[in-house]
Amino acid sequence: MNVAHPVMEHSWQRLTFLHWSFDVDDVQRLLPPGLTVQPFENRAWVGLVPFRIVVGLPRLPSVPWLARFPETNVRTYVTDGTGRSGIWFFSLDADRLAAVVTAKVTYRLPYVWSTMTIEQQDDLITYRSSRRWPGPAEAFCNATIRMGEQYLAAELTQLDHFLTARWTLFSAHSRGLHYADAFHEPWPLHRGEVVELKESLITSAGLPPPSGDPLVHYSPNVDVTIGLPHRVKTAG
C-alpha cells in the first residue's frame, strides 16, 4: 500500500520494539469510543518503542537540528468500526518541543516533551528519556539493548508481523476519531536482548505494570511516507 499524497517523509532509525502482552480489558478501557483492541491469541499487545527520527517534507531537505531527534512511543493495536486496523498511541515522548507542538496540533497525537538520548557502542544501544512537559514528570525510560543478527524472512512468525507490519495510525479529539496512512518497506528485523530496562512510561499511560520479559526486535532503519489525517466514517 502506497500513500497517494504523502505530506511527510520520515526515516526511523536505530529502533527497538519491546512488546508485552496484557489482558484485553486492561487495554480496552483506555481506548476512545470507536476503537477496539485487536488481540493476538486472545491477548492485547503493548509496545514500548524508542528510536531516532528524521522528519522531512516531500522534495525538501530536513533541517538538521529541528527535524532529527529521539522519540519513544507507547502503543497498542486496534481496529475501528470499519474493520481498519492500526496503531493507537498512549504517548509519544520526543526531544524537540517544536515537533511536539506541531504534531499535537496537526495530527492530534499525544506527544509530550522529554529529554532523550541514544548512545551506541559496538552491539549495545542505550536509550534514555525523562519527561518534561506535560506530565507526569516522573515518567522515564532507561533501556540498553544488545543487537543481534537479522532474521531471515522465513524465520519471522505471525506474531512478528502482527506487531510490526502496521500501516495506519489513529488519533481522537473533539471532532471525532481520525486516521492517517503510512507506508514503508518491510522492517529489516534483528534479534534483540534486554541488558537493562527500567521504565515508567507504560504505567504512566494508565496500564498495569508489564509482566515478564518483553519480546524484542531491533531494526537499523526504515523510510516512511505519511498521509494527511482523515475522519473515520461511522454508520449513520
Tell me the per-residue pLDDT of 201-236, one tens digit each, with 9 for 90 and over.
999 999 999 999 999 999 999 999 999 899 998 765
Any idea of the CA torsion for 21, 24, 27, 32, to the nearest 10 degrees? 140
Q: Which three cell numbers mark 180?
A: 492517517
Residue 48 above 70 pLDDT?
yes
Domain extent listing, the chain:
8-230
Mean pLDDT (the chain, rounded): 92
Instruction: Quote the CA–CA distance of 62 and 67 in Å, as a whole number.
Output: 6
Residue 157 above 90 pLDDT?
yes
Work out the pLDDT band at 61, boundaries 50, 70, 90: low
Instruction: Quote the CA–CA distance of 179 and 77 in Å, as a whole number.
Output: 13
CATH architecture for residues 8-230: Beta Barrel (2.40)
pLDDT of residue 102: 79
Work out the pLDDT band at 99, boundaries 50, 70, 90: confident
pTM of the predicted structure, to 2 decimals: 0.93
> Using a CB cutoff of 8 Å and minimum separation of 24, what contacts does 96-101 make?
96/66, 96/67, 96/69, 97/133, 98/66, 99/55, 99/66, 99/67, 99/69
Residues 6+ apart with CB under 8 A from 58: 6, 7, 8, 9, 225
Instruction: Quote the CA–CA distance of 190 and 196 in Å, as a whole number.
Output: 18
Q: Please, are residues 36 and 83 in contact by the beta-carbon 8 Å criterion? A: no
Instruction: Quote the CA–CA distance of 152 and 189 in Å, as a whole number.
Output: 9
Tell me the per-residue pLDDT of 170-194, one tens digit each, with 9 for 90 and over.
999 877 899 999 999 999 999 999 9
Q: Please, are residues 172 and 34 in contact by the beta-carbon 8 Å criterion? A: yes
pLDDT of residue 66: 57
Residue 59 vs residues 7, 62, 176: alpha-carbon distances, Å: 10, 10, 32
